[in-house]
Chain A
Amino acid sequence: MYPSNFDYQRAASVADAIQKGSSDGAKFLAGGHSLLPALKLRLNEPESLVDIARLDALKGISVTGSSVRIGALATHAQIAGSADVKKHAPALASACGQVGDPAVRNRGTLGGNLAHTDPASDPPTVVLALGGKLHLQGSGGNRVVAAEDFFLDLFTTDLHPGELITAVEIPSIGQAKSAYAKMAHPASRYAVVGVCVVLEVSGGKCSKARVAVGGATPKATLSAAAANALVGSSLDTAALDAAAQALSADLSDVMGDVYAPEDYRRAMAGVYLKRAVRAAMG
């Protein structure tokens, strides 16, 4: 399958990318693992692709202060294998290690993944649970957007036309516990349901919790109700059952398909919340 014809331009710098990307019908190309399949199916027919994959300024993973900064072009494989990410954002390393398969992880990038924001993808859920911030650059300047304000709907983000994700900043998890638990579709490995939890525990009680769900919902979604059900508890079986029920009841918009209908995904969200908490406390 061939994509329809397009002009191909290679960006020489971030500024050059933004200038080239500002023309009508232009799209940025990084690893191409969301974009190229869509182009081949002719779901998208951009007039030009601006290849940003060679921009060193968008690469690399570093720790600054109390957060880890991941360049938009970091691949899933690089993130999964990064000692810094494993230390400061272990749930993200785990989730990126579960994206697709080894060849996909070698090419797909975090920036491209978040810009595409496939509802069944793993990283958006985890970036949301970890309180990540997206650094964006466009012709109007730079801005920083929190993950909860970035994911707007199915395949829809707060990115303005021509705006580029340059990096993702994740606050270090510190002493908190976290885990991502995923029900993978048996053929595609996409998330039917994915749940990420971040838990602070002191004196045997959960003092703070953040719960994000993906796969089941059109966009990665935080559940305050599920988090509230965990806070104050000792994360025992009764508390997990209550949190699972709260999560299933809290999800207002759950998708369904021939493989996993809405009711099933809603129920599995609760099950995978429990698994994520147990894995985090492991």
Chain B
Amino acid sequence: MKVSIKVNGTLYEREVEPRMLLVHFLREELGLTGTNVGCDTSQCGACNVHLNGQLVKSCTCLAVQADGGEVTTIEGLKSNGHLHPMQEAFWEKHGLQCGFCTPGMIMTSVALLQSNPHPTDEEIRHGLEGNLCRCTGYQNIVAAVKAAAGTK
């Protein structure tokens, strides 16, 4: 089936099998490998992207479901050669170690601040419930989100 999906501002048209998952479309068809496949069972959030402005798990969405839609991945966050403030904050606060969960964490954190610009610690932790990190213990991730939100 032919799909047209705008990814990070560029429209792509591809012929895909209906069973192709959005995450494979991004990684294998478009070469956008920043979005990771982690658990592949809708739990870990490593594959989180924005679809039509909403946070979604791209391992639990078919490419054909996203047909006609707009996707933002981690590669699409930077603007004019500058990292997104959330990326800067993760860097600054050392909100990562191995980095595998980081793209999903950042996409979730950006969506969180869009709906709640000044979250409390508890709201950040609840907001990140669907993203698993096996390195950091989350402490520095929460600190990064707080820093990006400009809260103390």
Q: Closest B residue to A1 by CB, please name it.
A: B40
CB atoms of A106 and B18 under 8 A apart: no
Shortest C-beta distance, B60 to chain A (Å), equals 5
Q: Is B19 an interface residue (CB 8 A)?
A: yes
Q: Is B38 an interface residue (CB 8 A)?
A: no
User: CB-CB < 8 A to B19: which residues of A?
Assistant: 2-6, 39
Contact with B along A185-213 (1 / 0, CB 8 A): 00111000000000000000000000000
CB atoms of A32 and B43 under 8 A apart: no
Shortest C-beta distance, A176 to chain B (Å), equals 28
- Which among A4, A39, A102 is the interface contact of B111 at CB below 8 angstroms? A102
For chain B, residues 76 to 125, give those with C-beta under 8 angstroms from any C-beta of chain A: 108, 111-112
User: CB-CB < 8 A to A1: which residues of B?
Assistant: 40
Q: Is A49 an interface residue (CB 8 A)?
A: yes
For chain B, residues 37 to 96, give those with C-beta under 8 angstroms from any C-beta of chain A: 40-43, 45, 48, 54-57, 60-62, 64-65
Question: CA of A41 to CA of B112 in the docked complex: distance in angstroms?
Answer: 30
- Which among A2, A6, A41, A103 is the interface contact of B21 at CB below 8 angstroms? A2
Q: Is A53 an interface residue (CB 8 A)?
A: yes
Tally of A-B Cβ pairs under 8 angstroms: 75
CB atoms of B64 and A8 under 8 A apart: yes
Q: Is A122 an interface residue (CB 8 A)?
A: no
For A, the interface residue count at a CB cutoff of 8 angstroms equals 29
Answer whether A33 and B60 are a contact pair too, CB < 8 Å, given A103-B130, A188-B43. yes
CB atoms of A51 and B21 under 8 A apart: no
Shortest C-beta distance, A105 to chain B (Å), equals 9
User: CB-CB < 8 A to B42: which residues of A?
Assistant: 33, 36-37, 100, 104
Question: CA of A2 to CA of B22 in the docked complex: distance in angstroms?
Answer: 11
Shortest C-beta distance, B99 to chain A (Å), equals 20
CB atoms of B48 and A103 under 8 A apart: yes
CB atoms of B57 and A103 under 8 A apart: yes
Q: Is B129 an interface residue (CB 8 A)?
A: yes
CB atoms of A101 and B18 under 8 A apart: no
Q: Is A116 an interface residue (CB 8 A)?
A: no
CB atoms of A53 and B65 under 8 A apart: yes
User: CB-CB < 8 A to B127: which residues of A?
Assistant: 102
Shortest C-beta distance, B70 to chain A (Å), equals 15
CB atoms of B65 and A104 under 8 A apart: no
- Which among A2, A32, A100 is the interface contact of B130 at CB below 8 angstroms? A100
User: CB-CB < 8 A to B21: which residues of A?
Assistant: 2
- Which among A6, A39, A51, A189 is the interface contact of B129 at CB below 8 angstroms? A189
For chain A, residues 1 to 57, give those with C-beta under 8 angstroms from any C-beta of chain B: 1-8, 29, 32-33, 36-37, 39-41, 49, 51, 53
User: CB-CB < 8 A to A37: which residues of B?
Assistant: 41-42, 60
Answer whether A101 and B130 are a contact pair too, CB < 8 Å, given A37-B41, A107-B56. yes
CB atoms of B40 and A101 under 8 A apart: no
Question: CA of A37 to CA of B1 in the docked complex: distance in angstroms?
Answer: 21
User: CB-CB < 8 A to B57: which residues of A?
Assistant: 103-104, 107
Q: Is B17 an interface residue (CB 8 A)?
A: yes
Answer whether A36 and B62 are a contact pair too, CB < 8 Å, given A3-B19, A101-B129, A102-B129. yes
User: CB-CB < 8 A to A4: which residues of B?
Assistant: 19
- Which among B43, B56, B65 is the interface contact of A106 at CB below 8 angstroms? B56
- Which among A3, A36, A49, A106 is the interface contact of B54 at CB below 8 angstroms? A106
- Which among B41, B45, B60 is the interface contact of A107 at CB below 8 angstroms? B60
Shortest C-beta distance, B22 to chain A (Å), equals 10
CB atoms of B56 and A103 under 8 A apart: yes
Question: CA of A39 to CA of B56 in the docked complex: distance in angstroms?
Answer: 18
Answer whether A103 and B45 are a contact pair too, CB < 8 Å, given A36-B61, A37-B60, A40-B40. yes
